[in-house]
A = this chain, B = another copy of it.
Amino acid sequence: MSLTSFVPHIPLEEYSERLKEHFVMRRENGILEVRFHTLGKEALWGFELHRALPQMFQYVGQDPENECMILTGTGDHWIKTGDGASFKAVEDDPETRVNSIYDLWYVDGTRLVENVLWGRNFPIISVINGPGFHTEFGLLCDLTIAADDTLFWERHYCGGMAPGDGQFLVYQQLLGTKRAAHAMYTRYQGIPANEALEWGLINEVHPREKLLPRAWELAHLILQQDRIVRRMTVEIVRRPWKRLMTDDFAMHFAHECFAAAVHKSDHAENYERYKKDWGAGVEKSVDR
């Protein structure tokens, strides 16, 4: 008998409880569906959810009982808008503000991107259930399907930030160097789902109500194959993403953070601006 024992992994019951304020989880036959939300409705971006996401990926990744993951938002938006109070609490105080860029942007933002790609050995299917920003962690998943009214937003620049958190890096990889720059500088209203499909940013477009059934169908299709074949396939599929992130992400993100530290970019002001300046399509998604 071995002299020592294995340290047990943390089971679903435990981590789903720890994470329940931000995620609803259910698992069938190794397929784990994870739905993020804010107070049970559409997710609002805030520092708390920003950190909970990489925590969730880490918990889910260490659990060998997960064989496939479906990741989705709640209701009609991937992220509906921001939780202004989350940002104001930190950014209004000059003392916490300056450090927040490291602790709440750099660390959590880096871990979000890393934990999608490293530390898990099963495929993830993301279901972009409607318009929103921060789709980068959805687009980094192996397969992505989206609702037909989805708009993909890269609003860092128009919001006074350098686009270094991964969303633009994913655009550079999938849209091409040239098209990505144009979308980032000029497409504040977003890239519609059909154009995103044509450009190779996503894989399928469906009416919202058909998204989850399709995701489960895809999960079942993938799970038909042998476990080790599937896991070796995941490694192959994920390799270009890992190389891209290792080569470029830290450069991108440090440029965003440096600019934010000097310019004192903040989020609360941004969300105000969204409401005022950006027309009906955006306003609609901001009112709650």
A-side residues, CB < 8 A to B, are 1-8, 18-19, 21-22, 38-39, 44, 46-49, 51-52, 55, 58, 62, 64, 83, 85-86, 89, 98-99, 101-103, 106-107, 111, 114-115, 118-119, 121, 123, 139, 142-144, 157-158, 160-164, 168, 172-179, 181-182, 184-186, 200-204, 218, 221-222, 225-226, 228-229, 231-233, 235-237, 239-243, 246-248, 250-252, 254-263, 265
Using A48-B5, A229-B157, A257-B258 as known contacts, say yes or no to A178 and B185 having CB atoms under 8 A apart: no
Given B51, B247, B254, which contacts A254 in the complex, CB threshold below 8 Å? Answer: B254
Asked whether, in the complex, the Cβ of B262 is within 8 Å of the Cβ of A98, the reply is yes
User: Chain B nearest CB: distance from A74 CB in Å?
Assistant: 13
Asked whether, in the complex, the Cβ of B226 is within 8 Å of the Cβ of A163, the reply is no
Asked whether, in the complex, the Cβ of B118 is within 8 Å of the Cβ of A118, the reply is yes
Asked whether, in the complex, the Cβ of A3 is within 8 Å of the Cβ of B228, the reply is no
Given B3, B21, B182, which contacts A46 in the complex, CB threshold below 8 Å? Answer: B3
Using A232-B162, A240-B177, A259-B229 as known contacts, say yes or no to A218 and B185 having CB atoms under 8 A apart: yes
- What is the bound-complex CA distance between A5 and B240, given in angstroms? 35
